[in-house]
Amino acid sequence: MRIAIASLTHESNTFAAFPTTLDEFRVHRGEDVIAAYKPTFHEVAGYIAAAEEYDYEMAPLFAANATPAGALTRDTYETLVGELLASLAAAKDSCDGLLLALHGAMVAEHFPQADAETVRRVRELVGPDFPVVVTHDYHGNVNEELVRDATALIIYKTNPHIDQRERGIQAAHILARTIRGDVKPTQAIAKPNLLFNIAFHNTSKPPMQPLMQAAIALEDQPGVLACSIAAGYQYADVPAMGPSIVVVTDNDPALAQREADRLAAMMWDVRDQLIPRILDAAEAVKMAIESTETPVALFELGDNIGGGSAGDATIILAELVRQKATGWVAAVYDPESVQQCFAAGIGREVDLMVGGKTDNEHGTPVAIHGRVRTLSDGSYEETERRHGGARFIEQGLSAVVSVRGDEGERVGLLLVNSLRTTPFSIHQLTSVGIVPEQQKILVAKGAVAPRAAYEPVSKRIIEVDTPGACAISRGPEAFHLARKDLYEWNTSMIH
Ligand SMILES: [Zn+2]
């Protein structure tokens, strides 16, 4: 048995100021795919790990990924999919099936449901009988076309995403059994008419936790091969925006539809629990300052870098300065400030205007005075299971500034970096000499995903409702392609 392996992943935020272009993508080809992904906890690592157990040879084709940001330009999508399809065309006659990792929330400027378009083209190339098992991120906006064209769809079951590797293995198992003729996957999708706000995406807490438990329990039922819930991604204005239930059965499409509908009804029943109650920056910073148990982690929801925002928001930073907080740590994407720190040198005083430079959505630059504490190349390694599954991470040239208050006293530590970097690894801080447990307030730009990294070092996590490309309170008036009749839109914010 020989199985082709490919990956093309991007979470595209249609509210982000800039499109995503080809040079943002990290691309691996052929055997290089194995070398790049094998040491990680990514689903492609699961495809690779399963080869021995399920006894198949691998034909690694192509893998491309970029940090979440705006929709892909037409050229970017066509170039990447063109290469994926060309490599598949060359390999398909020597292969029995395809494992294909797609995010589920990729948007191209000419295809709002870009992943469905990718699978449509793959199906057109390989024909109706070639098994193609697809994996998705939990934040996918799945549509019926993709479920029709894929042999089976498997979606992560955890957020933070720490089960990616297991889902890759599960997909490989279903594909291997399909090729051997042991099973014949049939699948169905149900989409409850809800917006499942990202504030409720944590799979370890209600209301999502019991729903996910029901999905996991269903996988033990006879005739069911897989059951997935995608919470959806509210930062993409696409027709299928919103949650999805996908059930894969063994040659029983009616069972698949019945169970998908049953779980969708369970989700509909929790709709009144989906109204966010989240503090604003002034309230959250005040609460953090008054907290007797530290560190307190403040999650800046509007600048959720893993959701495609700018990474240089200053909403919480400005509030920390305004309320004269001490013992804080904040990381801000600001290549210009990094250059100023490198020009000054370690131990030297700097005056910076930090952040708020990408667009007008994420606050304005904040005046910072301090002393350059460390300068680094910004590379670090994560060996634990963390959201996204990455192992070797680059935040680009980076500097830490020991920030001084009006009286010259030390008030906090500012990390400025040169690449937009998701706060999914605590080594973003430890690698530049910051001991998180010794601080009072940690600021992380994310919603749920940073929990895997920050829960072990924080006494308390406070989510903060801030403006930005990932603002959680955007209503239906901001959307054009998404369904307009989603229940409540969950926008009645209660502070
Ligand atoms: Zn995700």
Q: From the CA of 372, how far away is ligand 1's center (Å)? A: 35
pLDDT digits (tens, 9 = 90+) for 321-340: 999 999 999 999 999 999 99
How far apart are the CA of 70 and the centre of ligand 1, in A?
15
Is residue 189 a contact partner of residue 244, using CB atoms and an 8 Å limit? yes
Structure tokens at 314: 């200053």
Q: How far is the CA of 232 from the centre of ligand 1 (A)?
A: 9
Distance 388 CA to ligand 1 centre (A): 8
Q: How far away, in angstroms, is 449 Cα from ligand 1 center? A: 8
Ligand 1: distance of its center to the CA of 161 in Å? 7
219-243 mean pLDDT? 97
H-run or E-run covering 442: strand 441-444
pLDDT single digits (tens) 82-128: 999 999 999 999 999 999 999 999 999 999 999 999 999 999 999 99
Percent of the chain past pLDDT 90, that is, above it, reads 94
Sheet holding 296-300, edge to edge: 279-280, 460-465, 296-300, 441-444, 328-333, 410-417, 398-404, 366-376, 349-354
8 Å CB contact between 34 and 58: yes
**28 C-alpha vs ligand 1 centroid, how far in Å?**
21
pLDDT band at 320 (very low <50, low <70, confident <90, very high): very high
> What pLDDT, on a 0 to 100 scale, did the predictor assign at position 400?
98
**CA 430 – ligand 1 centroid, Å:** 24
| CA proximity to 31, closest of 55, 61, 75, 66 | 61
**How many A from CA of 429 to the centre of ligand 1?**
22
Helix (H) or strand (E) holding 429: helix 427-430
Model confidence over 336-368: pLDDT tens digits?
Answer: 999 999 999 999 999 999 999 999 999 999 999
More confident of the two residues 282 and 388:
282
Rounded CA gap, 149 and 220, in Å? Answer: 25
Cα 93 to averaged position of ligand 1 atoms, centre (Å): 33
Distance from the CA of 137 to the center of ligand 1, in angstroms? 5
CA 443 to ligand 1 center in whole angstroms = 20
pLDDT, residue 484, reads 84
CA 67 to centroid of ligand 1, rounded, Å: 12
pLDDT band at 489 (very low <50, low <70, confident <90, very high): low
Kind plus residue range of the DSSP H or E element containing 343: helix 335-344
3-state secondary structure (DSSP) of residue 152: strand
DSSP H helix total and E strand total for the chain: 13, 20
pLDDT score of 427 more than 80 = yes
Give me ligand 1 centre to Cα 156, in Å.
8
Would you say residue 490 has pLDDT above 70? no
User: In 3D, which of 171, 167, 137, 165 has the Cα closest to residue 244?
Assistant: 137
pLDDT tens for 141-175 read: 999 999 999 999 999 999 999 999 999 999 999 99
* pLDDT of 450 over the 60 cut: yes
Cα(318) to centroid(ligand 1), Å: 28
User: Confidence band (pLDDT; 50, 70, 90) for 411?
Assistant: very high
Q: Please compute the mean of the pLDDT values over residues 28-56 and round it to a whole number.
A: 97
- Tokens encoding 126: 């390989």
CB 167 within 8 Å of CB 135: yes
Given pLDDT bands bounded at 50, 70 and 90, which one contains residue 493?
Answer: very low
The per-residue pLDDT for 56 is: 98
Taking all residues of the chain, what is their mean pLDDT, rounded to a whole number?
Answer: 96
495 pLDDT higher than 50: no
CA of residue 104 to ligand 1 center, whole Å? 9
Hey, what are 403's tokens?
């920030």
Query: Which two three-digit tokens encode residue 89?
Result: 């065309």
Give the Å distance between the CA of 139 and the centre of ligand 1.
5
